[in-house]
Amino acid sequence: MSREAMMASIRESLGRTPGQAISAPPEARIRIPDVDEESRVGQFLAALEALNARTFVAPDAASARQYVASLTLGKDALASNAPLLRELGIADLDGVRCGITQLDALREHAARCDLGITSADFALADTGTLVMFSSVEEARLISLLPPVHVAVVPRQKLLSGLDELFALNPEPARRSSSMVLITGPSRTADIEQILVRGVHGPGEIHVVLL
């Protein structure tokens, strides 16, 4: 009812008729800069540090595991089901819970634990961004409810920026119901423009680059 009324009103205002063809839209503007892997790593780490995120470049699996172990020591952590975390032995660390696929159990643990550990589908070098698609491997709440988020990312996932992300994923909706870009710790400046971290999401982020 309202749909028909609104559509009729829109068409009348625009002078268009139902089913009328449209002129071609402006071409999408995608410009991927030519940045080699070393420079991407440099940009990514610098951007993250500027955001007050902690970074660690892991030369091998053992050192990645060791770094995460230093964070989970004596803590209660929840790891996502990303195969990478199992391969690296992070899922088996003391105090780390992994393998949850039920919503209720996920909510309960994510709301209670001290740390959430995930991987990421991509990372964007120029802005220090993690890109996460929701799936059975990556639940949305693990990077959101705990006060600390630890992300372990292979350096092959490092893209130059937004343009490369949308060139590789022209239709993110085909892949998942949710794609989230995370750029640094949760923050606000709502009171007197004073920067406060850790409002609703994690106030602390660690990125381990493999």
Least separation in angstroms between residue 53's CB and another protein is: 10
Site for another protein in 54-113 (CB under 8 A): 100-103, 106-107, 111
> What are the distances in angstroms from CA 123 to CA 45, 162, 209?
11, 10, 10
Q: Which of 41, 46, 69, 162 binds another protein (CB under 8 A)?
A: 162
Using CB under 8 A, count the residues that bind another protein. Answer: 74
Answer whether 174's CB lies under 8 Å from 180's CB: no
Residue 12 vs 60, nearer CB to another protein: 12
Answer whether 92's CB lies under 8 Å from 131's CB: no
* DSSP strand pairing (204-209 vs 54-57): parallel
d(CA 111, CA 130): 21
Q: Which of 78, 84, 68 is nearest to 106 (CA)?
A: 78
Q: Which of 109, 118, 185, 209 binds another protein (CB under 8 A)?
A: 185
Residue 74 vs 170, nearer CB to another protein: 170
Mention every residue, 6+ apart, whose C-beta is less than 8 A from residue 12: none
Site for another protein in 134-153 (CB under 8 A): 134-136, 139-141, 144
Contact mark string toward another protein, 22..51, x via CB under 8 A: xx-xx-xxxx--------------------
Site for another protein in 102-131 (CB under 8 A): 102-103, 106-107, 111, 124, 126-127, 129
